[in-house]
Homo-oligomer: A and B are copies of this chain.
């Protein structure tokens, strides 16, 4: 739903919405005839929500599309991820908690290997260690770029973040990553006239990288791609009229929450810390995003039983959330991460929306199979959750007379 349209219907109310994202929630049976992770888990508190709320399974992006964490969360916040695209450079910055400012130009960097002729022979430089990466980033930072400030930040293994800061910089710069081995790195070119300065600074940085890394085989060159700047999007507080807060500990989720205008609550590393943060911020805000990472990590490790246990651990905390007395409580995931696949997947994600104004549906158990019969449907669009939450919170006017 168009966010400006939604904004035109918003009215104030004294009500609170809490969105609990269980990362990678959806799963699959390991073998035919067996239960999924969520079906196996004992979840009396989620089942109680399902019994009194409305259930369904959502698609964060579209049929068959496996969402990354960025698009998955944007959809849950009501932002259509096909319309609101986050550039790769910006995603990299979010992922390392880098304080990107408006006008900064960010790109994702790879250390790579080139031969005597400058031909790329390994786009990932043999996946060097993160420690080595740190050493080499220190060399890259020494580049002299007149008129711009340079940031080079280690991400992991062969990956780093590249940021230019200065007046009059634009992100319309072409990738230097040829995407295949056997070619030279491409030269950075301005894709629009106003990006000439940025492109020339990028070329100077790449020259410096080539010289300063020449002795660091296999990581003797860099590739840059996905030049991007902070997007100018409608802010969730402006759209909804709600002061919005995020209790999340991983940089990526904090970053996406900030991108839509949420305030970041000071949250310790574990769920206890985030629940404390939530309680601390409860009076000052109306919209809350609480993130739990562990089920996704267990899924990516292919550890079915650990994912079951992590889901049960979240279930045990639901009563604490209900004691906060949110008017609307949504529990869902940003995508599925079946342990069987050890990866994000395209499978629709179970969701429950609870409020005092829900029309009952037949679902009595929060699971992939039972959610199929719920009032939200078996493949609804995740962006519908925002208007549904606002409606159940008494925060939307009637459309037309």
A residues with a Cβ closer than 8 A to B are: 1-2, 5, 9, 26, 28-29, 32, 36, 52, 56-57, 61-71, 81-82, 85-86, 88, 91, 95, 252, 341, 343-348, 357, 359-362, 368-369, 372-381, 384, 386-392, 396-401
List the 9 shortest-distance A-B pairs measured between CB atoms, nearest first. A64-B387, A68-B400, A63-B384, A64-B391, A71-B400, A64-B388, A346-B391, A66-B398, A68-B401
Closest partner residue, chain B, to A400 (CB atom): B68
Residues from chain B with Cβ under 8 Å of A57 in the complex: 375
User: For the complex, would chain A's binding face be called helix, strand, loop or mixed by DSSP majority?
Assistant: loop
B68 & A388 in contact (Cβ 8 Å cutoff): no
Say how far A344's CB is from chain B's closest CB, in angstroms: 6
Residues from chain B with Cβ under 8 Å of A68 in the complex: 398-401
Cα–Cα distance between A361 and B348 once the two chains are bound (Å): 12
Instruction: Known contacts A359-B368, A375-B348, A377-B379; decide if A400 and B64 are in contact (CB<8 Å).
Output: no
Instruction: Known contacts A369-B362, A398-B68, A401-B88; decide if A380 and B379 are in contact (CB<8 Å).
Output: yes
Residue in contact with A398 in the complex, picked from B2, B26, B91, B344, CB distance below 8 Å: B344
Say how far A363's CB is from chain B's closest CB, in angstroms: 10
Total copies of this chain within the assembly:
2
Residues from chain B with Cβ under 8 Å of A343 in the complex: 398
Residues from chain B with Cβ under 8 Å of A389 in the complex: 64
Cα–Cα distance between A68 and B377 once the two chains are bound (Å): 24
A374 & B369 in contact (Cβ 8 Å cutoff): no
Cα–Cα distance between A380 and B378 once the two chains are bound (Å): 10
Residues from chain B with Cβ under 8 Å of A252 in the complex: 401
30 contacts between A and B (CB under 8 A): A1-B63, A1-B64, A32-B52, A57-B375, A62-B384, A62-B387, A63-B380, A63-B388, A66-B396, A66-B397, A66-B399, A67-B398, A68-B400, A70-B401, A85-B400, A91-B401, A343-B398, A344-B398, A345-B357, A346-B388, A346-B396, A359-B368, A361-B378, A362-B372, A372-B374, A375-B379, A376-B378, A376-B379, A377-B377, A377-B378
Residues from chain B with Cβ under 8 Å of A375 in the complex: 57, 348, 372, 378-379
Cα–Cα distance between A61 and B9 once the two chains are bound (Å): 13
Say how far A372's CB is from chain B's closest CB, in angstroms: 6
Cα–Cα distance between A56 and B389 once the two chains are bound (Å): 22
Residue in contact with A341 in the complex, picked from B95, B344, B357, B390, CB distance below 8 Å: B357
Instruction: Known contacts A64-B390, A357-B341; decide if A91 and B36 are in contact (CB<8 Å).
Output: no
A378 & B372 in contact (Cβ 8 Å cutoff): no
Say how far A221's CB is from chain B's closest CB, in angstroms: 23
Cα–Cα distance between A67 and B400 once the two chains are bound (Å): 7
Instruction: Known contacts A375-B379, A379-B376, A401-B91; decide if A65 and B344 are in contact (CB<8 Å).
Output: no
Cα–Cα distance between A81 and B400 once the two chains are bound (Å): 9
Closest partner residue, chain B, to A348 (CB atom): B375
Residues from chain B with Cβ under 8 Å of A36 in the complex: 359
Closest partner residue, chain B, to A363 (CB atom): B372
Residues from chain B with Cβ under 8 Å of A91 in the complex: 400-401
Cα–Cα distance between A369 and B372 once the two chains are bound (Å): 14
Residues from chain B with Cβ under 8 Å of A381 in the complex: 63
Residues from chain B with Cβ under 8 Å of A398 in the complex: 66-68, 343-344
Residues from chain B with Cβ under 8 Å of A376 in the complex: 378-379
B71 & A387 in contact (Cβ 8 Å cutoff): no
Cα–Cα distance between A235 and B329 once the two chains are bound (Å): 44
